Amino acid sequence: MSEGAKREKDERPAKEVRQGGQERRQFRAIKGTRDILPPDTALWNWFEATAREVIEAYNFAEIRTPIFEETELFARAVGVETDVVNKEMYSFEVYESDELVERRYMVANWPWNFDQYDFFRQQIAPRFVETLKIAVDKGQIVRDAANLRIYEEIKTAMADLMDTGVQYGKNAFDRFQSAARALLIGESITLRPEATASVCRAYIEHGMQTRPGDQKLYYVGPMFRRERPQKGRYRQFYQIGAEVLGTSDAPAIDAELIEMLTVLIGRCKIEKWTLLINSIGCPDTPERKGCRPKYVELLRAELRKPEIFSKLGPDSQRRVETNPLRVMDSKLPEEQPVIEKLPKISEHLCAECREHYEKLKSELALRKVPFTESPRLVRGLDYYMRTTFEITSPVLGAQNALCGGGRYDGLVEMLGGPKGIKGIGFALGEDRFVDAIVEAKKIDATRAVDVFVAWMGEKAYPEAVRLARVLRDAGRAVELPAREMKFGKAFERADKIGARYVLILGDDEIASKRLTIKTLASGEQKQMGESELLDYVRH
């Protein structure tokens, strides 16, 4: 099926089907999500198990964080000017006062009507304000400055409602209703768009800096971003990532993390790949001026020039002011000639960042990890500094990134954690990695059924149940039909599901206490005792 046809199929609404003379809705997966079905799940499970094996060999331990966090965590960590925060997050409110929610809904949806104005200002509005005051006193609404200003506006509008007759009440009604709609009753929660911020939050919350040495943590799980679905990119997607948090920023840590990824790629038999590396400098700190802010201003000044700005698309033009580094990451063909001529950050690194970058390259060479320097390689999230890297593979086509990561030494402190904690990590998209494994065509993770138990007769069934359990306890995959089947049909079924062996149990086998085993690939058939069965029926 072509990609266009796949997209068209994915975007069709739930269709109506007739059942029993009635129209019934046929539900479909939400746009941007998908079902992963057998036998594909076997490859996913193999990949996850392989990733865990490789990562744990480097002494990383798994961390499991909640699937949602406070919205502010991602806004502060990822950056309020990023596309992730501005456009792509799935956020919602959680409430402690159900009564307040109900009364706010009534106020927010009350239609303006001269005849019902007195009822609204004497019954509906006062009850809402009374419930709101109780919630404020109990700390059940968000108490930031903006929300408290809205609360004061509600009280002011309420006073005007009580003092204004119906002839002039529309203005007070509109102000009251508008403020009620704007009030943030519950805490804002967001489905995680990435996991680094969550890992850092957990590191801070549980005081993990008091544990000996660097904390080497990895995670596996779903992430959520509201972006345009395309090949290898979904709104619910799966990531495996690893983070190193501690007091050291030694380039050897960066190199070992990258080496670990290349080992995983090798285990997956993906032969064509390229490691891109860069340094994006360091930010300003109270102790010293960083080299990246100077470069960003230089880059912004260059991008503001009319002859350059006019050749950029709308997204890049917006980023000139909000996040000019992201312009370097543009994939639009028409922007590439402009970007190629822009100043490179590698030419503006401070002495410390340049030394760190040179040592990183030496460490990679020591580990025999091939790399390509990419002056345009930046990370789209605000917390990155110095080392950035990405691994691409041509087997994925235009969207060729397998994984990426970088260093984020100031993030823990930015999130309220202790000073001096350094960090580096990566994230890989499982969807992309599995696609690359499939394209390489060198891994077959599907496990065939070891034994199909073909039984006939009342006496054979209990023995079939017992032997199926014996085989399963020994780690063999067994299919046991729930109903009696003629042996011819049983052989057909076993062949269709790819079973290796058929264990035949009929009256003769029960009487002789000898088992009949048929190897489907060769057609060979043997009789044996139960003691020989497990050795014969191999994986």
Kindly state whether residue 322 falls inside one of the protein's structural domains.
no
CA–CA distance, 456 with 461 (Å, rounded to integer) = 7
| CA 71/CA 189 separation, integer angstroms | 5
Shared domain for 198 and 51, answered yes or no, is yes
Do 368 and 472 belong together in one domain? Answer: no
User: If we measure between CA atoms, which residue out of 34, 36, 35, 50 comes closest to residue 445?
Assistant: 50
The confidence score (pLDDT) of residue 17 equals: 57
Question: Are the beta carbons of 277 and 371 closer than 8 angstroms?
Answer: yes
Q: Which of 166, 185, 204 is the last residue of a domain?
A: 185
What average pLDDT values come out for the chain (539 residues) when binned by 10 residues? 41 55 78 90 95 97 95 77 66 82 90 86 92 86 83 91 75 91 86 94 96 96 84 85 96 97 94 93 84 90 91 88 84 86 89 95 97 83 82 83 91 91 94 89 86 94 95 93 93 93 93 92 91 82
Q: How many CA atoms lie within 13 A of 255 on its CB side?
A: 19
Residue 316 φ/ψ, nearest 5 degrees: -65, -35
Provide the b/e sequence for 225-248 (b: ≥16 CB within 10 Å).
Answer: beeebeebebbbbbbbbbbbbbee
User: Any idea what the CATH number is for the domain that residue 63 is in?
Assistant: 3.30.930.10
Q: What number of other Cβ atoms are within 10 A of residue 428's Cβ?
A: 23
Query: Which of these three, 154, 185, 216, is where a domain ends?
Result: 185
pLDDT for 184 equals 83
Tell me, yes or no, whether 174 and 257 share the same domain. Answer: no
For the entire predicted model, the pTM comes to: 0.79
The Cα–Cα gap between 539 and 533 comes to 12
Strand 372-373 to strand 401-407: parallel, antiparallel, or no bridges (unpaired)?
A: unpaired
Residue 21 DSSP SS3:
coil
Would you state the pLDDT for residue 6? 44
Count CA atoms closer than 13 A to 303's CA, side-chain side: 26
User: Does residue 12 form part of some domain?
Assistant: no
Task: Estimate the crossing angle of helix 145-163 against helix 169-182, to 10 degrees.
Answer: 160
Q: Last residue of a domain, which of 409, 440, 471?
A: 440
Q: Domain for residue 141, yes or no? A: yes
> Which pLDDT score is estimated for 20?
60
Q: Please indicate, yes or no, whether residues 119 and 227 belong to a single structural domain of this protein.
A: no
How many domains are contained in the chain? 3
Residue 74 lies in a domain: no
Torsion of Cα atoms, 464 then 467 then 473 then 479, to 10° = -40
- On the 0-12 / 13-18 / 19+ scale of CB atoms within 10 A, 338 is buried
Domain that holds residue 271: 41-69+191-284+350-440
164: tokens are 């204004």
Which residue matches tokens 């990155």?
Answer: 384
Quick one: pLDDT at residue 87?
A: 66
What are φ and ψ of residue 321, in 5° steps? -90, -35
Helix axes 125-137, 98-108, angle to 10 degrees: 150
Q: Is residue 34 part of a domain?
A: no
Coil/strand/helix, residue 451: strand
Task: Determine, yes or no, domain membership for 27.
Answer: no
Confidence (pLDDT) at 19:
59
